[in-house]
Structure 1
Amino acid sequence: MTPFSLDDLAAIIADRAKSDSAASYTKSLLEAGPPRAAKKFGEEAVELVIAALEPERRHVVAEAADVVYHLLVLLQTRGVPLAEVLAELERRTSMSGHAEKAARQPAGAAAESAVP
């Protein structure tokens, strides 16, 4: 048996998009569109931050799973395939973190941020 992957989860979410919202929580989120999916993702992200500050490791695991799921639902509502996000991560990890961050800043922003 192969390990469960983000691709597996993305495929499940895409499949649930074809189901009935009365029977699928995922479908109900997708039907509500990006605003609802974004709000739910934000709520789950905050819950993960709170869990990260608590001693219970299992809470972090559970909340991280919720964040990943809701991120993929949000991507689905926007028509952004997981492969596109992974390609962006691959591009970013091909250079140092400092160089990558500097490359994302608009021209002149780096100089402005250095001034107190």
Structure 2
Amino acid sequence: MTERILDELFAVIKERQETLPDDSYTASLFTHEKGENAVLEKLGEEMTEVILAAKDDDTDEIAAESTDLVYHLLVLFAAKEMDLDDLRDELAHRR
């Protein structure tokens, strides 16, 4: 189950992007008045939090903040009309 979690999460993000439910944080990122900048700001914020957690050697916090970072990166992928195959292809190319 966990090996497909990124695919499942990305599917939910895409669904929220399409349906824009009022009570969805994900949908709010796509409809925010700041547009794409809202997502980019969140990415920067989450990266900073990962760095601080690493500096503090707090592995639980590293995992938690990295999860937030990956989530917001996937939101960016959706906003840019990219998908996980773009990431997989690049990783395979670099291998």
| Displacement of 1:86 | 1.2
TM-score, normalised via structure 2 length: 0.87
Match of 2:26 in 1: 26
Deviation track 1:37-62 (CA, whole Å, cap 9, x = no partner) reads: 11111110111011111132110010
Match of 1:7 in 2: 7
Which structure is larger by alpha-carbon Rg, 1 or 2? 1
- Which segments of 5 or more consecutive residues in structure 1 lack a partner in the other structure? 94-116
- Structure 2 distance, partners of 1:80, 1:34, is 14
- Which segments of 5 or more consecutive residues in structure 2 lack a partner in the other structure? none
Among the aligned pairs, what percent are the same residue?
36
- Higher relative contact order structure (alpha carbons within 8 Å, sequence separation ≥ 6): 2
CA RMSD in angstroms, aligned pairs only: 1.2
4+ residue runs over 4 A deviation: none
Structure with the largest fraction of helix: 2
Letter of the 1:88 partner, please give it.
Answer: E
Match of 1:102 in 2: none
Q: Determine if contact 1:14/1:76 at 8 Å carries over to the other structure.
A: yes
Match of 1:85 in 2: 87
* Paired residues, number: 91
